[in-house]
Amino acid sequence: MNIYPLDKNSYIFPDPNYANDKGIVAYGGDLNPNRIMTAYLNGIFPWYNESDPILWWSPNPRCILQLDELKISKSLKKTINKNIFEIKFDTNFRNIMIECKKIREGIDKKGTWISNEIIDAYTKLHEIGFAHSFEAYYEGELVGGGYGVNIGNIFCGESMFAKKTDASKVAFFHLVQRLKENDFKMIDCQIPSNHLQSLGAKTITRKEFLNLVKESSHNCKTF
């Protein structure tokens, strides 16, 4: 199918069920907070390289983590119990994104989707209460964590980084505990990876995911 071009004067997205084989729903538009949140509420997210137009995705299959299915290895459990890291939430959002950008640039020499434009856009989402960070500190230094967006009772994870062994995993564990305490249902992990699946993530069909997103809008939770 042809990829749908977005109108900058409208926040309407095409039906994600008709994404192309790669999972791309549309292109163009902008990163206005209203457009981004409309996308998430329709099971869509932006993901593109700096040299590309904004691409909007709804992949099939979709990777999710049901909170009660989180798997913690024995070694990670020992690290958690040692309380090596101080865990915080929403105290250093922009720097979390900057560190995620640095890590991705180090992994992929072609660049990262976490552009300055993306950082600015998601920082605005954070300022109005839709985007959140989970953070690990060691001796006062930010050494791991990640960020994401909450819709209803779903936390949409975006990226993580670690500058010290297990820092991001410990922060992620505490994120899951916080979400459970606040009656969230799951984490949207978007694209499957061996790392996420080792933590208990699984894949479901796009249709199943979109149904969960629709249900989540009736169960709004506070992060």
Same domain? 130 vs 99:
yes
The enclosing domain of 190 has a CATH number of: 3.40.630.70
Same domain? 212 vs 173:
yes
Contacts of 115 (CB under 8 A, 6+ apart): 50, 101
Residue 221 domain flag: no
Same domain? 34 vs 114:
no
Q: What is the pLDDT of residues 141-194, one digit of tens each?
A: 999 999 999 999 999 999 999 999 999 999 999 999 999 999 999 999 999 988
Same domain? 18 vs 86:
no
pTM of the model: 0.95
- Residues spanned by the domain of 69: 63-216
What is the residue whose two structure tokens read 């457009």? 35
Under 8 Å between Cβ of 159 and 218 = no
Same domain? 50 vs 116:
no
Can you tell me the distance from the alpha carbon of 145 to that of 167, in angstroms, rounded to the nearest whole number? 7
Number of domain units in the chain: 2
Per-residue confidence band for 74, with pLDDT thresholds at 50, 70 and 90: very high
Same domain? 74 vs 131:
yes
pLDDT cut 70: percent of the chain above it: 97
Please give the average per-residue pLDDT across 46-54, as a whole number: 91
